[in-house]
Structure 1
Amino acid sequence: MHTANQILDKINAYISGLSLIHAPEGLYTPIDYVLSMGGKRIRPVLMLMAYNLYKDDVSAALAPATGIEMYHNYTLLHDDLMDRADMRRGKKTVHKVWNDNTAILSGDAMLVLAYQYVAEAPLSSLKEMLDLFSVTALEICEGQQYDVDFEQRDDVAEQDYLEMIRLKTAVLLAASLKMGAIQGGASGQDADLLYDFGINIGLAFQLKDDFLDVYGDPAIFGKNIGGDILCNKKTYMMIKTMELANGQQKAELNKWMQTQTFNPEEKISAVIEIYNEVGIKELCENKMREYYNSAMRSLDKVSVEKETKNELINLVHELMYREN
Structure 2
Amino acid sequence: MHHIQEYQQLLEKQIQSLELPKEPKNLYDPLRYFLTLGGKRTRPSLTMLACHLFGSPGIKAINAALAVELFHNFTLIHDDIMDDAPLRRGKATVHEKWDRDIAILSGDVLFVEAYSLLAKHDAKVLPQLLSIFTRTAREVCEGQQMDMDFESSNAVTIDEYIEMIRLKTSVLLGAALEMGAIIGGAENKEDIKHIYDFGVNVGLAFQMHDDLLDLYADPDKFGKQVGGDILSNKKTFLLLKAYEMADNTTKSKLDTFLNNQSGQEKIDNVKDIFEQLGVRQKAEEQKDLFYQKALLNMQEINVPDANKKELLDLAKYLMSRDH
Normalised by the length of structure 2, the TM-score is 0.97
Question: Is residue 21–residue 29 contact of structure 1 (8 Å, CA) maintained in 2?
Answer: no
Which range moved further: 229-238 or 184-193?
184-193
Instruction: Give the aligned partner of residue 278 of structure 1.
Output: 277
Instruction: For 2:57 and 2:309, locate their aligned partners in 1 and report how far apart those are by CA, in whole Å.
Output: 18
Q: Which residue of 1 aligns with 2:3?
A: 3
Where does structure 2 lack aligned partners over 5 or more consecutive residues? none
Residues 237-289 of structure 1, C-alpha deviation per residue, up to 9 Å, x if partnerless? 10010010122211111112222xx3410000000000000101110000000
Whole-angstrom distance in 1 between the partners of 2:139 and 2:116: 20
- Residue equivalent to 1:134: 134
Structure-to-structure mapping, 1:1-324, within 5 angstroms: 3-187=3-187, 188-259=189-260, 262-324=261-323
Per-residue Cα deviation, 1:148-185 (whole angstroms, up to 9, x for no partner): 10001000000010000000000000000000001111
Quote the Cα distance in structure 2 between the aligned partners of 1:173 and 1:71.
12
CA distance in 2, matches of 1:321, 1:2: 19
Q: Which amino acid aligns with 2:81?
A: L
Identity of matched residues, % = 43
Cα shift readout 1:113-151 (whole Å, capped 9, x = no counterpart): 011111112111100000010000000110011001000
Q: Could you tell me how far apart the structure 2 residues matched to 1:21 and 1:217 are? A: 42
174-183 vs 212-221, greater mean Cα deviation: 212-221
- The CA distance in 1 between the partners of 2:287 and 2:214, in whole Å, is 15
Q: Which deviates more from structure 2 when the two are superposed, residues 35-44 or residues 13-22?
A: 13-22
Aligned length: 322
RMSD between aligned residues:
1.1
In 2, the alpha carbon distance for the partners of 1:178 and 1:21 equals: 31
Which SS does the other structure have where 1:123 is aligned? coil
Name the SS for the 2:120 alignment partner. Answer: coil
TM-score scaled to structure 1, two decimals?
0.97
Once the two structures are TM-superposed, the CA of residue 56 in structure 1 deviates from its matched residue by 4.0
Aligned residue identity for 1:223: K
Code of the residue aligned with 1:169 in structure 2: it is T
Q: Which amino acid aligns with 1:226?
A: G
* Whole-Å separation in 2 of the counterparts to 1:83 and 1:41: 22
Aligned partners of 1:209 and 1:87: how far apart in 2? 18
